[in-house]
Amino acid sequence: MPEQDLSTHNGKQGDLLAAIDLGSNSFHMVVARVSDGELKPIDIMSEKVQLAAGLDAEGLLDEEAQQRGLDCLSRFAQRVSQLPRDSIRIVGTNALREAKNRSHFIARAAEVLDVPIQVIAGREEARLIYLGVAHTLSDDNDRRLVVDIGGGSTEFIIGSRFEPLRLESLHMGCVSYTKRFFSDGSITREAMDRARTAAARELVAIRRDYRRLRWSSTIGSSGTAKALRQACMTLGFGEQITLEGLKAVRDQLIQFGQADKIEIEGIKPARRAVLPSGTAILIAVFEILGITAMDYSDGALREGLLYDMAGRLRHEDVRERTIKALKKRYHVDAGQSRRVETTARFLLDQAADAWSLNSEEYRNMLVWAARTHEIGLTIAHTQFHKHSAYLLQHSDLPGFTNTEQQLLAFLARGHRRKFPKEEYKLLTDDKRHSYRFLCLILRLSVLMHRSRSTAKLPALKFRVKEKSLRLSFPAGWLENHPLTRADLDSEAEYLRAIGFELEID
């Protein structure tokens, strides 16, 4: 039986979708309507919040920066208040990846918006940026390099059409570099050179691999590229960003001497403070990667979010591809994972109402866990469930947020032996209750197929209450399958240790 595609069903004709990007420099929101297979933006909002500027030496986000973010989100919330909650997606990027107290801000922000906030990994951010850019460009087969300088990180993607080939996220951004090299607002040649050198050192890590792949065009996205393109045009260097134009912008900024004295036509006041650092970073990018000219695209992370949500208008859910790739890479027994998945679906159908597991999220995550719970066998059979959990949590999994990877890892870790109490405590409050139930379903599904037999299971009945589970088998079946009976008795002991009663008849 082929695996079922678990792509979401958002993106029907006429639907409204909203994407909110909590960037290190700016917060952005796009509301768009699905029309004739495309997304038509109907409202765009953007505010300079400079969340990264609020990170102190200990990696804590200060109260002032948090309040700026919450005030911005309260305005965004009014615009999307009438949209269904599953039509809104909100992601945090580098500043929230770095903040040690991010959970505190995320909880406060989720209350304002009534929508969960997902912090995404750097490479996932790069993938979504590329998706947003690719939908604004001509649909050709040439390779392109996309560079997105954000407030705390810079993403580099080489891709063709809608498929990224290389994804990287480096720890350099216009806000973090402003704090590091231009904190007093002074713009000197020495500060410019130090910022450029620091960026060049970061770029050494990807230089050889990226230049070996080659590309035919270079695209800049987001605010820094837009501002520098405008600055180059104002200084008479045409519509493309070039190294000559960037150096002219640098020299002009040094002449101004202070960020608050920058006067370049088309550059907004809110952009002035971070323009010197953005210029230094982009000069290093041009020099280290050998770029001659860069065009600009209006597409970016928030547009990528919309296209990723939308039905994934022309493509399957990238998470499906990711799971398939994991199974192939780690040589998963396809027949066994399919049997476990089928049983997990069956048990979930019977328990969904009593345990409030009717959300599509729960079905998707349970099925993906069923398909990947054995990937750790490639490392070692002993404690392979721990190896599976480690791989799911720490691998780059395109399409999955950090939280989703943590939840998948928890399900894999908990599918056998003792229930993982410590890992369970690490789940966020809003996930613990439901994912404990999903873990119990996966445990039973795996147990029922321990023999790896291709024979079908008998007609089962599965009834649950808040703290009890009851599995009923046809008369005589358990007597003819003593290993399964012994495993179920052992499982009843494991579940009793966490306050559940498993009845078997």
Residues 93 and 168 in one domain: no
Two structure tokens written together for 359: 């959300």
Write down the H helix ranges in 214-333: 222-234, 243-256, 269-272, 275-289, 301-309, 318-329
- Examine the domain organization and report whether 285 and 381 are in the same domain: no
Tell me: do 29 and 87 sit in the same domain. Answer: yes
Domain-located, residue 69: yes
Domain with residue 86: its CATH number is 3.30.420.40
Q: Per the structure block, which two tokens stand in for 3?
A: 């695996």
With respect to residue 164, please indicate whether it lies within any of the assigned structural domains.
yes
Domain match, 199 and 337 both: no
Q: 39-60 as b/e, with b when 16 or more CB fall inside 10 Å?
A: beeeeeebbbbbbbbbbeeeeb
Residue that has been written with the tokens 């866990």 in this structure: 369
Establish if 471 belongs to a structural domain.
Answer: no
Instruction: Let me know how long the chain is.
Output: 505
Residue 408 · residue 392 · CB < 8 Å: yes
Instruction: Report the CATH number at residue 154.
Output: 3.30.420.150
Pair 289, 341 in one domain: no
446 domain-assigned: yes
Last residue of a domain, one of 430, 455, 480: 455
Taking only the tens of pLDDT, the chain with its 505 residues reads 344 443 334 445 468 899 999 999 999 999 998 876 678 889 999 999 999 999 999 999 999 999 999 999 999 999 999 999 889 999 999 999 999 999 999 999 999 999 999 999 999 999 999 999 998 886 677 899 999 999 999 999 999 988 899 999 999 999 999 999 999 999 999 999 999 999 999 999 999 999 999 999 999 999 999 999 999 999 999 889 999 999 999 999 999 999 999 999 989 888 999 999 999 999 999 999 999 999 999 889 999 999 888 754 445 577 888 899 999 999 999 999 999 999 999 999 999 999 999 998 999 999 999 999 999 999 999 999 999 999 999 998 888 888 899 999 999 999 999 999 999 999 988 899 999 999 999 999 999 999 888 988 999 999 999 999 999 999 999 999 999 999 999 999 999 999 999 999 9
Quick one: angle between helices 429-447 and 360-372, nearest 10?
50
Query: What is the CB-side half-sphere exposure of residue 386 using CA atoms within 13 A?
Result: 9
Asked if 226 and 323 sit in the same domain, the reply is no
* Closest to 48 (Cα-Cα) out of 30, 69, 64: 69
Q: What are phi and psi of 29, to 5 degrees?
A: -140, 135
In three-state secondary structure terms, 502 is strand
233 and 85 belong to one structural domain: no
Task: Please say whether the beta carbons of 24 and 277 come within 8 A.
Answer: no
Q: How many domains does the chain fold into?
A: 3
Task: Report the half-sphere exposure of 265 (CA within 13 A, side-chain side).
Answer: 5
Query: What six digits make up the tokens of 109?
Result: 């922000």
**Can you give the CATH number for the domain in which 427 is found?**
1.10.3210.10
Residue 90 domain-assigned (yes or no): yes
**Residue 2 has what pLDDT?**
42
Q: Please indicate, yes or no, if residue 7 is contained in any of the structural domains.
A: no
Q: For residues 269 and 328, state if they share a domain.
A: no
141 and 247 in a single domain? The answer is: yes
Q: Considering the domain boundaries, does residue 234 fall inside one?
A: yes
Q: Tokens 């999955």 correspond to what residue? A: 400
d(CA 455, CA 227): 64
Q: Are 174 and 149 in contact (CB under 8 A)?
A: yes
Q: Are residues 143 and 204 in the same domain?
A: yes
Residues 407, 328 share a domain: yes
Instruction: Give the Cβ contact number of residue 421 at 10 Å.
Output: 10
Sequence-distant (6+) residues with CB within 8 A of 340 are: 370, 373, 442, 445, 446, 449
Q: State the Cα–Cα distance between residues 97 and 59, nearest whole angstrom.
A: 10
Which residues span the domain enclosing 382? 318-455
The answer to whether residue 224 sits within a structural domain is yes
Nearest to 310 by CA among 72, 2, 40, 79: 40
Please give the pLDDT value at position 316: 55
- Domain boundary (263, 297, 331) is at 297
Question: Which of 121, 145, 170 is at the close of a domain?
Answer: 121
Distance of CA 396 to the CA centre of its chain: 10
245 & 368 share domain: no
pTM of structure: 0.79
pLDDT of residue 37: 63
